[in-house]
Amino acid sequence: MSKSPALTATLLEIANLTKSFDGVKAVEDVSLHLREGIITTLVGPNGAGKTTLFNLITGHLRPTAGDIRWQGESIVGTAPWKIARLGVARTFQDLRLFSHMTVFENVLTVMERSAWFWQSEAGSGAERHQRVHEILDATGLLHKADVRANDLAYAERKFLSVARIMATKAKMWLLDEPASGLDPRSYERFVALLRSEVRRGITICIIEHNLEIVVSISDRISFLDQGRLLADGEPEEILGNPELSSIYFGERNS
Ligand SMILES: Nc1ncnc2c1ncn2[C@@H]1O[C@H](COP(=O)(O)OP(=O)(O)OP(=O)(O)O)[C@@H](O)[C@H]1O
């Protein structure tokens, strides 16, 4: 674990958040602090509300009730592109790469579409290329710079999704099952990459199903079930709770 979660400030606060779809509460009265410079994992069975929570944070869904505060300011009703501009970036399970572009072009294009690029510090073309170069180096993709995303191996595609999010310079990364399906060596490299970004101050929130991954990657775990936050704490505390594991493994009676 990198540092005690209690010592870091809240970057994004979710307060009594509810989202209903035709009366069905996908998220119900959830309150949660996503703290700076750590990895928080959202865990829970299918339909627990994890993806809905991501969509609420990014502004793609509007809550039925409750608030979401970014550095203390409410962002409810803010357009997704504005929330991205504040510094929230997201990856998807299906990665959504620009499959016919090269690795280099994927990262450069995301960079050029990013909020910071349109603000003061975009720099010259050469500087941007240098930055893409650094990102590809950090993600182990430099030797693949000219390969089309379509032609990458599975693990390389996962690393490219992180390279793209690095190009946004977002402060908070929302990652949907970023490490699933990686072979052990790639997984180790992947966790090391996330850890080094967290050390640089990036805040990460991950949706993850695989408990081995959850154990090795999380500083903090938020456990959701049927839209409700059942528990929120350090990994040992959450994963050692027999009631939660019976819910997770589908052994409850209700
Ligand atoms: N657009 C929608 N319209 C209606 N119901 C929805 C919609 N999106 C999600 N739901 C419902 O909300 C609940 C929570 O779904 P959600 O996708 O957030 O869960 P999840 O924890 O991400 O699940 P999984 O692990 O299977 O991806 C589910 O019952 C789902 O059917």
196/190 Cα distance (integer angstroms)? 10
User: Identity (one letter) of the amino acid at 54?
Assistant: F
Percent share of the chain, pLDDT over 70: 92
Compute the average pLDDT of residues 144-166. 96
Pocket of ligand 1 (CB under 6 A): 21, 26, 44, 46-52
Tell me phi and psi for residue 246, to 5 degrees: -70, -30
Q: Is 73 helix (H, G, I), strand (E, B) or coil?
A: strand
Compute the average pLDDT of residues 79-96. 90
pLDDT of residue 254 exceeding 50, the answer is no
Beta bridge partners of 215: none
Closest ligand 1 atom number to CA of residue 51: 22
Say what the pLDDT of residue 6 is: 53
Say what the pLDDT of residue 1 is: 47
Per-residue confidence at 238, pLDDT binned at 50, 70, 90? confident
Question: Hey, which of 22, 28, 52 would you mutate to test ligand 1's pocket, going by the most ligand atoms within 8 Å of its Cβ?
Answer: 52
**251 vs 86, residue with greater confidence:** 86
Compute the average pLDDT of residues 203-213. 90
Say what the pLDDT of residue 42 is: 96
pLDDT of residue 251 exceeding 60, the answer is no
What pTM was computed for the model?
0.91
CATH architecture of 8-87+172-181+202-254: 3-Layer(aba) Sandwich (3.40)
**How far, in Å, from the CA of 49 to the mean position of ligand 1?**
6
Structure tokens of 169? 């310079």
The full 3-state SS of 60-115, as one line of letters, equals: CCCCCEEEEEECCEECCCCCHHHHHHHCEEECCCCCCCCCCCEHHHHHHHHHHHCH
pLDDT of residue 5 exceeding 50, the answer is no
Q: Is 59 helix (H, G, I), strand (E, B) or coil?
A: coil
**How far, in Å, from the CA of 100 to the mean position of ligand 1?**
31
Pick the residue whose CA is nearest to atom 5 on ligand 1.
21
**How far, in Å, from the CA of 164 to the mean position of ligand 1?**
26
Pick the residue whose CA is nearest to atom 18 on ligand 1.
49
- Specify the pairing of strand 228-233 against strand 73-74: unpaired
Which range (50-54, 63-67, 89-93, 148-152) has the least confidence?
Answer: 89-93
Domain residue limits, the chain = 8-87+172-181+202-254, 94-170
**How far, in Å, from the CA of 36 to the mean position of ligand 1?**
27
**Quick one: 125 exposed, middle or buried, by C-beta within 10 A (0-12, 13-18, 19+)?**
exposed
CA distances from 118 to 43, 112, 114, 162, 168 (A): 36, 8, 7, 21, 11
Say what the pLDDT of residue 25 is: 96
Question: How does DSSP classify residue 9?
Answer: P
Per-residue confidence at 240, pLDDT binned at 50, 70, 90? confident
Per-residue confidence at 120, pLDDT binned at 50, 70, 90? low
**212 vs 27, residue with greater confidence:** 27
Closest ligand 1 atom number to CA of residue 224: 21
**How far, in Å, from the CA of 227 to the mean position of ligand 1?**
9
pLDDT of residue 93 exceeding 60, the answer is yes
Say what the pLDDT of residue 193 is: 95
